[in-house]
Amino acid sequence: MKVDLNSDLGESFGRYKLGLDEEVMNHITSANVATGWHAGDPLVMRGTVRLAKEKGVAVGAHPGYPDLLGFGRRYMRLTPEEARNYILYQIGALYAFARVEGLELQHVKPHGALYNALVKEEELARAVIEGIADFDRNLIFV
């Protein structure tokens, strides 16, 4: 049996350091890297992807609502078109860093309030899945 030990990482941004990414990375097999809307920024995203490569950790996108102030924990009503494009946009941002580091994205795990809303709103869930499929149908949805 194979177990994937997964963690949310790359949630620091600007001058704010959140979490113990370097230490955690030694104990996991896959990382959900924040894509800049609930947390993370381009420097943190690239550094997290680079660290995952060094440690042999699979990388996935961790997209959320555009809610940096609320850390993606506040519900936002989205149209299906907004949801689909928001997901595609955030996956694409992380993919750019993964590609530069010679990695492929393995999965997508929505963050916080968006993740919780998917359980209750079928239309939103469908739009998020479609956004993921627009990018790559082989990505695992967590």
- 60-70 pLDDT per residue, tens: 999 999 999 99
| Alpha-carbon gap, residue 24 to 124, rounded angstroms | 32
On the CB side of 77, CA atoms within 13 Å amount to 0
| Alpha-carbon gap, residue 116 to 95, rounded angstroms | 24
Cβ within 8 Å of residue 17, ≥6 positions away: none
Query: How large is the average pLDDT for residues 27-48?
Result: 98
pLDDT of residue 20: 96
- 83-130 pLDDT per residue, tens: 999 999 999 999 999 999 999 999 999 999 999 999 999 999 999 999
pLDDT of residue 17: 95
pLDDT of residue 96: 98
pLDDT of residue 73: 97
How many residues does this entry show for the chain? Answer: 142
Q: Six-digit token pair at 136?
A: 């790559």
pLDDT of residue 125: 98
Query: CATH second-level architecture of 6-141?
Result: Alpha-Beta Barrel (3.20)
Q: Six-digit token pair at 19?
A: 């979490």
On the CB side of 68, CA atoms within 13 Å amount to 10
